[in-house]
């Protein structure tokens, strides 16, 4: 493996893209809120962001960064009640779901001052 692709980060990042019928967007957001709060309160979740595609109404991408591996996430997050309630709540309204696991390249990340200003919550603010 290329040395440039080796990473000391001992966690994963994943993207989940959901396609929802636009008439069900409010139901999706309503189901997402408690799952988002529970997930963000887990110390192992170090970043969580939700995006929507303005060019594709009803399409959302969730990005999560964890300091654990996928096995740990499956046992300690996916298997938990808060996640199962979320899955059950959105099960009938999701038209398509795509899941990607990524490894971040070190020394390529930047967040400029002001980008997240006013939209970032700390775990204490949830």
pLDDT tens for the chain, 126 residues long, are 666 555 555 688 999 999 999 999 999 999 999 999 999 999 999 999 999 999 999 999 999 999 998 899 999 988 888 889 999 999 999 999 999 998 877 777 787 888 877 777 666 676
For the chain, the domain total comes to 1
Burial class, 73, CB count within 10 angstroms (exposed 0-12 / middle 13-18 / buried 19+): buried
Q: For residue 113, tell me if it sits in a domain.
A: no
Q: For residue 3, tell me if it sits in a domain.
A: no
Q: For residue 123, tell me if it sits in a domain.
A: no
The model's pTM is 0.81
Domain range spanning residue 80? 15-103
Report residue 17: phi and psi, to 5°.
-110, 125
Tokens standing for residue 28: 């999706």
Q: For residue 117, tell me if it sits in a domain.
A: no
Q: Which of 58, 117, 69 has the alpha carbon at shortest distance from 78?
A: 69
Q: For residue 116, tell me if it sits in a domain.
A: no
User: Going by C-beta distance under 8 Å and a sequence separation of 6 or more, which residues neighbour residue 34?
Assistant: 82, 85, 86
Question: Which CATH number characterizes residue 49's domain?
Answer: 3.30.70.100
């Amino acid at each position: 493996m290329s040395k440039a692709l080796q990473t000391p980060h001992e966690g994963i990042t994943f993207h989940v893209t959901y396609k929802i019928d636009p008439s069900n967007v409010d139901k999706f957001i309503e189901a997402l809120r408690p799952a988002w709060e529970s997930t963000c309160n887990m110390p192992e979740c170090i970043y969580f962001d939700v995006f929507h595609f303005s060019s594709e109404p009803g399409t959302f991408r969730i990005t999560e960064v964890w300091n654990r591996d996928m096995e740990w996430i499956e046992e300690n997050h996916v298997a938990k009640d808060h996640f199962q309630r979320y899955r059950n709540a959105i099960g009938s309204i999701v038209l398509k779901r795509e899941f990607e696991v990524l490894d971040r390249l070190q020394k390529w990340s930047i967040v400029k001052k002001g980008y997240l200003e006013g939209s970032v919550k700390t775990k204490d603010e949830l």
